[in-house]
Amino acid sequence: MLIVGALLVLVVIGAVGFVLFGDDDDGDRPPVTLPTATIPSLSTDLPTSTPTTPGTGGDPSSVLKPTIQTARGNTFTQVGTRTDTCTARANSTLLTRLRTYPCIGTMKSAVYASPTRNIVTVISIMEVSSSTAARSISSATYSKGWPKLLKPSTTSGLPQLNQEPSYWTRTWTLDSRVIYAQSYWARGGSIGDRSGSVYTTAGELGVEITNTLRFTN
């Protein structure tokens, strides 16, 4: 399980009513925490898993539902979606890795608000050619390689931050897929450590999505 924290990057308005800010990882490796600051850049709008036999899983679009109830009983509400090329969504570090292991198709993303709407979580799913490629892409998180951050739709009623907030990024791999969960406070602010609400929220929703993909044909 690869886990990385990251911090600040600027914001730019993007398509589909979402906004990309800038840009962790849970695979089968030991946890890693690197809460370091990212270089500011412009961009726009957006349950711990246990190792099992990898499966192809279901369609990413079908699991990014309008509402998701996790195994913990919490319901997350979708506040925007985005589908784009992997190269358009990748930050510069991830883009370098994608040149060696190109993704297949597009990256599907959805932004979710926590039950109390105080934490925003961006789920992004990409597919590559093999499980080996997926693990390599996931490991780029150690070097702060992940998708550019998204913020909620302008119609969501959630704050539209003018500066990229601090956030945790966590990543899982499932066969040839890489699943990212990036969480931050809806109003910005310190995200705390791995015992904090932001980190655990990313894990709760990321694991739920990963397990749903695992058990969906």
Domain spans of the chain? Answer: 2-214
Please tell me the predicted confidence (pLDDT) of residue 60. 84
Only one residue has tokens 């080996």, namely: 132
Residue-by-residue pLDDT tens, the chain, 217 positions: 444 444 333 333 333 344 555 444 444 333 333 333 332 322 223 322 323 333 445 678 889 999 999 999 999 999 999 999 999 999 999 999 999 999 999 999 999 999 999 999 999 999 999 999 999 999 999 999 999 999 999 999 999 999 999 999 999 999 999 999 999 999 999 999 999 999 999 999 999 999 999 998 5
2-214, what's its fold?
A: Protein Transport Mog1p; Chain A (3.40.1000)
Around Cβ 107, how many Cβ atoms within 10 Å? 22
Only one residue has tokens 């957006």, namely: 46
Only one residue has tokens 């892409």, namely: 137
Q: State pTM to two decimals.
A: 0.77
What are the angstrom distances between the C-alpha of 117 and each of 50, 71, 79, 112, 207?
28, 19, 10, 9, 19
Please tell me the predicted confidence (pLDDT) of residue 57. 54
Q: Give, in degrees to the nearest 5, the angle at Cα 125 between 121 and 128.
A: 155
